[in-house]
Amino acid sequence: MSLLKQLPPQPKSKRQKGSSSSSLPCFDDFGKSLQQLSHHSASLKNHITTQLLKIIKKDKKRNKLAYDEKEEKEKERKKNKNKKKKKKKLHLVLDLDHTLIQSKVVRNLPMEEKYLLEEADSRLDLWICSYDSCCEFMIKLRPFVHEFLLEANKLFTMHVYTMSSSSYAKTVLKLIDPDKVYFGDRVITREASPYYKTLDLVKADKRRVVIVDDTVDVWPYHQRNLLQITRYKYFRDAGTMSESYAEAKKDESRRKGSLAYVLKFLKHVHKRFEEELDCKDLRPLIPDPCTQCCF
Ligand SMILES: [Mg+2]
């Protein structure tokens, strides 16, 4: 017997069982593990993605809610501000003669002013009118009237208060406010108020009214509301010696005239009143008529 035959049989190597490594049990397990891991990883990825999407969605929703809430608050704030502004709406009472216009009966024009008869048709600030079969009269607009009315109308509810007749007022208003944009029907004339002017006839809180008039005496009870404007004299007044604007063929300055200064002051009063939300009375903002200079 050979020596080799006497040796115990050697255990077969596991490597010798298969021809490829994948067929080995440990690699199969590893592969399965990898597959499982890959599957888990995909599930985990899906789960994370779903959760993230949910979070983003929730976040968007929360942001939208926050935005909506912010927007709602802003709307409410603006609404309240407008309400307060509306509540605080100010009123402006304007005289006509020698404040916004001057008129003169045509037959009373002195020789030096008669040249205006030929200019009336071609000028935008001069008209010849008549009313109630009355004699003809010439109406001259104060420089800056249109700009004044346009700007003041943005800040105030405007009224006309004149001691002239309603027919006269209608004739003048057809020229300066033909579509009733500025004054509507807020016009008080001597038929309603024959002796003096009073805010009792103006539909407004007296604490929120500014009056612009060239005559102080006609307002015996409401001088605290009054801004006195320099009397506009385009035509020569009876008994006046000084040369009129018409005679001198010139006029009050547009930009540096009284209406421009009054408008500037009105804007200032309006701004102060708006800024002080608790302010209910604008009269302290108007200088005392005894001490104020004519505008
Ligand atoms: Mg007047």
pTM over cut 0.75:
no
The pLDDT profile of the chain, 295 residues, written as one tens digit per residue, is: 444 445 455 544 444 444 444 455 566 776 777 777 777 778 888 888 888 888 888 888 887 788 788 888 888 887 776 666 555 689 999 999 999 999 999 999 999 999 999 999 899 999 999 877 778 999 999 999 999 999 999 999 999 999 999 999 999 999 999 999 999 999 999 999 999 999 999 999 999 999 999 999 999 999 999 999 999 999 998 777 888 999 999 999 998 999 999 999 999 999 988 887 677 889 988 887 655 556 6
Interval between CA 177 and ligand 1 midpoint (Å) = 18
Burial (Cβ within 10 Å: 0-12, 13-18, ≥19) of residue 208:
buried
Interval between CA 121 and ligand 1 midpoint (Å) = 25
Q: For the chain, what is the largest distance between any 2 Cα atoms, rounded to a whole number of angstroms?
A: 169
C-alpha separations of 152 from 93, 128, 216 in Å:
11, 27, 21
Interval between CA 118 and ligand 1 midpoint (Å) = 27
**How many structural domains are present in the chain?**
1
Q: Where are the beta strands (DSSP E) in 28-136?
A: 90-94, 101-105, 126-129
- Is 17 a domain residue? no
- Is 204 a domain residue? yes
Interval between CA 103 and ligand 1 midpoint (Å) = 11
- Is 211 a domain residue? yes
**Strand order of the sheet with strand 137-141?**
101-105, 137-141, 126-129
Residue 56: Cβ within 10 Å count: 10
Interval between CA 193 and ligand 1 midpoint (Å) = 14
Interval between CA 233 and ligand 1 midpoint (Å) = 11
Domain around 259:
85-100+142-285
- Is 188 a domain residue? yes
Place of tokens 């990898």: 34
- Is 232 a domain residue? yes
Q: Round to whole Å and give the CA distance between 17 and 72.
A: 78
Reading the block at residue 43, the tokens are 């599930």
- Is 291 a domain residue? no
Interval between CA 116 and ligand 1 midpoint (Å) = 23
- Is 268 a domain residue? yes
Interval between CA 273 and ligand 1 midpoint (Å) = 27
CATH of the domain at 181: 3.40.50.1000
Interval between CA 22 and ligand 1 midpoint (Å) = 114
Interval between CA 6 and ligand 1 midpoint (Å) = 148
Interval between CA 77 and ligand 1 midpoint (Å) = 43
- Is 71 a domain residue? no
